[in-house]
């Protein structure tokens, strides 16, 4: 027995594909067999398994558990919930050695996939490629594991509420907050969470529906925040929080309806955290605004620019002992009083506590941020065989540039006008570009530099493509 995966599903940070075309129950079973064998050889035996609200998730969960138990692993089934609830199970249940969440994240309804952790660290990159090779070879351990159900939702909510302890109760009681679960897997947990929090809370789309009938659950796309913006405006709320399909990415708007982007949220979290932990290292990805890195320095922290990708950031946090990290895409990682993984519900609670401790409303905090002019993330199609080569060519051409060139992840070039970025996506055949300046003219000059480098490599920006 062996199993061959469709090559498109084994991605850098997770395993993901289209149900009935590139991904199905046989793949889930093979993932269980292979991962279970790897975990047992590493000295582990017990795996937590959860799944999101997609229509295909229960079928994949059943097959995954079959594969895990056939490899001799014991399974703790935590049922449907957000990805961070699975991470919580893996981090907090003593006998659990690894975890798998079945989720299509923010992809369309016909996608699904697997986010994996093993012995407290993300399972990604070479781990995933090795899993594919091992499945193709049928190199599996045999055994007869057990499976049991465990409801951990209440314990998870208890952990989410911890930051509120010791925060001024009167200030919290006066808050009025909107929440948009986008029909994703975080809905039921959100309902239980707000029922136990002070203040007034107004929730949208908490019923789980894998067809996402109201809007697509990706809070980094401004159009998807329109329902939340209307709610905040109509009810005159203090601010609003939105989640992606599996609850590990946060989006937010202030009381005036302005978007608070991922790097701007990190500015608020960093200012709050550095009050208690001066000198801490705060990590952000290469797409983040210069304003964030300046803000961290101003408040006594050490900013560190790192590669984009939640698994890469989590690994860097462990290596550096960083208590806080984040990405433009809305992944925020807290390791100071939490477990170091990305949890949008926890990030929502920490936004409330940061505002209370800093003595400023979220709208005021957003309003005090410098007005930078920046492009959205531009993504354009480049042949898979060319994308990394093109970036290498740009690096070589800029070797003697008078500008500051950072090659942590692609090329980020800083000069008097601001900065521009060009990097290859790890998960798609696209190049990603972004630029930021203080002036419109500066932004135009930065964009011209991106276009010039692309032209020298025989490419052009063309139409921006989606995720």
The residues annotated as belonging to the active site are: 105
Torsion of CA 106, 53, 64, 19, to 10 degrees: -60
Query: Residue 415's beta-bridge partner residues?
Result: 418
Cα-flanking dihedrals φ and ψ of residue 444, to 5°? Answer: -60, -40
Measuring CA to CA, how many Å separate 221 from each of 105, 147, 215, 262, 432? 14, 39, 11, 12, 16
Interatomic CA distance for residues 460 and 324, integer angstroms: 36
Judge contact between 72 and 45, C-beta under 8 A: yes
Distance of alpha carbon 233 from the chain centroid: 27
Return the structure tokens found at 116. 């994996």
Distance of alpha carbon 263 from alpha carbon 261, whole angstroms: 6
DSSP letter for each residue of 375-418: PPPEEEE--HHHHHHHHHHHHHHTTT-SSEEE-SSSEEEEETTE
Nearest 5°: phi and psi at 115? -105, 130
Give the DSSP per-residue string, 12-28: SSSEEEEBTTTB-HHHH
Three-class secondary structure of residue 163 per DSSP: helix
Measured distance CA(186)–CA(188) in Å, rounded: 6
CA distance 138 to 74: 20
Gap between the Cα atoms of 65 and 49, Å rounded: 8
Whether residue 23 contacts residue 3, with contact meaning beta carbons closer than 8 Å, is answered with no
| Segments of 59-124 assigned E as strands | 74-80, 98-102, 111-118, 121-122
């Amino acid at each position: 027995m062996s199993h061959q995966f469709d090559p498109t599903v084994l991605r850098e940070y997770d395993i993901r594909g289209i149900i009935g075309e590139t991904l199905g129950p046989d793949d889930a079973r093979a993932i269980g067999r292979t991962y279970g064998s790897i975990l047992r050889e590493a000295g582990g035996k017990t795996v937590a398994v959860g799944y999101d609200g997609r229509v295909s998730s229960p079928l994949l969960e059943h097959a995954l558990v079959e594969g895990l138990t056939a490899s001799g692993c014991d399974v703790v089934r935590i049922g449907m919930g957000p990805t961070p609830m699975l991470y919580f199970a893996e981090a907090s249940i003593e006998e659990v050695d690894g975890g798998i969440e079945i989720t299509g994240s923010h992809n369309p309804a016909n996608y699904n996939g697997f986010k994996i952790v093993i012995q407290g660290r993300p399972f990604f990159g070479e781990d995933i490629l090795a899993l594919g090779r091992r499945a193709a070879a049928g190199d599996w351990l045999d055994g007869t594991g057990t499976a049991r159900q465990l409801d951990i939702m209440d314990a998870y909510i208890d952990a989410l509420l911890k930051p509120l302890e010791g925060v001024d109760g009167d200030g919290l009681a006066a808050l009025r907050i909107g929440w948009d679960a986008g029909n994703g897997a975080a809905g039921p947990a959100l309902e239980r969470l707000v029922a136990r929090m002070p203040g007034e809370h107004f929730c949208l789309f908490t019923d789980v529906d894998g067809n996402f009938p109201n809007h697509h659950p990706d809070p980094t796309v401004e159009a998807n925040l329109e329902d939340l913006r209307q709610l905040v405006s109509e009810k005159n709320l203090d601010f609003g929080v939105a989640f992606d399909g599996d609850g590990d990415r946060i989006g937010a708007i202030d009381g005036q309806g302005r978007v608070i982007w991922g790097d701007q949220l990190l500015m608020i979290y960093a200012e709050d955290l550095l009050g208690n932990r001066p000198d801490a290292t705060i990590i952000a990805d290469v797409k983040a605004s210069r304003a964030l890195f300046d803000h961290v320095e101003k408040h006594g922290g050490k900013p560190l620019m790192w590669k984009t990708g939640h698994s890469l950031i989590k690994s860097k946090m462990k290596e550096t002992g960083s208590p806080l990290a984040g990405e433009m895409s809305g992944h925020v990682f807290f390791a100071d009083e939490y477990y170091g993984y990305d949890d949008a519900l926890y990030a929502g609670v920490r936004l409330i506590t940061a505002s209370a401790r800093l003595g400023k409303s979220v709208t005021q905090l957003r309003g005090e941020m410098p007005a930078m002019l920046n492009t959205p993330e531009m993504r354009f199609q480049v042949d898979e065989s060319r994308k990394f080569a093109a970036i290498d060519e740009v690096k070589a051409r800029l070797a003697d540039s008078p500008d500051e060139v950072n090659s942590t992840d692609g090329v980020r070039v800083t000069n008097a006008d601001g900065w521009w970025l060009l990097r290859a996506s790890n998960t798609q055949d696209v190049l990603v570009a972004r630029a930021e300046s203080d002036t419109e003219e500066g932004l135009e000059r930065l964009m011209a530099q991106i276009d010039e480098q692309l032209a020298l490599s025989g490419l052009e920006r063309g139409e921006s493509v989606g995720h």
